[in-house]
Amino acid sequence: MKILVAVKRVADPDNANRIKVSSGGDAIDASGLEWKINPFDEYALEAALRLTENGASPKKREGEVVVVTMAPKEAETTLRSALATGADRAIRVEAGDDDLDGRVVAHALRKLVEEEKPDVVLMGKQTVDGDSNQVGQMLAELLDWPMATFAATLRQEQDGSLLVGREVDGGVLSLRVRPPCLVTVDLRIVSPEGVYSSLTDPSFKYNEGVRFAPLPAIMQAKRKPLTVRPLSELTDVALTTKYTKFELPAKRSAGVKVKDVAELVQKLTEEARVL
């Protein structure tokens, strides 16, 4: 099975206290933020690795995992660490954030998918900077592929179909999709029983979370192929989403500390009037 994983490098939202808006209000000032791979995309990569191996012998890749990003050269660090974790090849599409919106990314990925012909495209359900949650669904439609979004579990069946447990409001909705198909992943995909390839024994349990690259693999990753493509080769779709202003949300201020349960009930009844 060949899997294409789309990843993005994002400003770490766990450092959100340091998010600032430029003085004119027309840009997010990310200068104080650290960069890291979008966590949902990191989980998509882990899911791709689990789908292309027997969980008991993860060093042997059954198939190919290609990782792609659209970003400036600095993001090659992100691609190299994906290669070190187990991906076989990487593609960087040369583009700055200002060249991209969800629709442009979806169209560029469509062209790459048509060239690469993967069986499955995997990506995070959303990036934690823009929080848009749109590229996977748009790409699936452009390709006329079936999709399963917000995946918490993935089972590869003997005929190659994927049984996907989707996290939806009020429960888990299961879909069966036949490749070529697209899956976007939610947090719980990296739980011990999140993903099973058809080679992995159903009783096998992964470690919680994503795998880390051993040192020799980090060295080896430097020799794995990484190609660079200009965005213009993949799409000529124009930008159609324009952010004109940013602002920080109103800060909620701390209220009062109550001394005991009786005072709490009294405040909620008489002051807040919510009981």
Partner 1 sequence: MSNVLVVAELDQDGNLRKSTLSAITLARKAEGALGGGFDVLVLGANTAAAAQELTTFGAGRVLVCEDASLAHYVAEHFAPTVAEVGKGYKLVVATATTFGKDLMPRVAARLDAAYAGDCADVAAEGGKLVYKRPMFAGNAYGYCELSTAIQVATARQSEFAAAEPSGSTSPIEKVAKAAPSGAAARVEYVSLDAVTSERPQLTEANVVVAGGRALKEKFFEVIEPLADALGAAIGASRAAVDAGYAPGDYQVGQTGKIVAPSLYIAIGISGAIQHIAGMKGSKVIVAINKDPEAPIFQLADYGLVADLFTAVPELVSALRARG
Q: Residues in the chain, how many?
A: 275
Site for partner 1 in 25-44 (CB under 8 A): 28
Give CA–CA dist 136/125, Å, rounded.
Answer: 7
Q: Out of 163, 199, 217, 218, which residue is the one contacting partner 1 (CB under 8 A)?
A: 163
Nearer to partner 1, 118 or 136 (CB): 136
Between residues 211 and 224, which has the closer beta carbon with respect to partner 1? 211
DSSP, res 79: H
- Does 260 contact partner 1 by CB under 8 A? yes
Q: Which is nearer to partner 1, 139 or 231 (by Cβ)? A: 139
Question: Which residue in the set 34, 141, 193, 236 belongs to the binding site for partner 1 (CB under 8 A)?
Answer: 141
Over the window 66 to 105, marking each residue x when it contacts partner 1 by CB under 8 A and - when it does not, the resulting string is: -----------------------------------xxx--
Q: How many CB atoms lie within 10 A of CB 18?
A: 13
Residue number, 228 or 243, with CB nearest to partner 1: 243
Does the protein bind partner 1 through residue 258 (CB under 8 A)? yes
Residues in the interface with partner 1 (CB under 8 A) total 82
Query: Tokens 């939610």 belong to which residue?
Result: 186
Site string for partner 1, 99-138 (x = CB under 8 A): --xxx--x---------------------xxxxxxxxxxx
Six-digit token pair at 104?
């442009």
210 binds partner 1 (CB under 8 A): no
β-bridge partners, 70: 93
- Pick from 157, 176, 158, 156: nearest CA to 166: 176
By DSSP bridging, strand 120-124 and strand 181-185 are: parallel
Distance in angstroms (rounded) separating the CA atoms of residues 205 and 56: 9
Asked whether position 268 contacts partner 1 by CB under 8 A, the answer is: yes
Between 219 and 263, whose beta carbon lies closer to partner 1? 263
Which of 265, 230, 223 is CA-nearest to residue 88? 223
d(CA 35, CA 20): 15
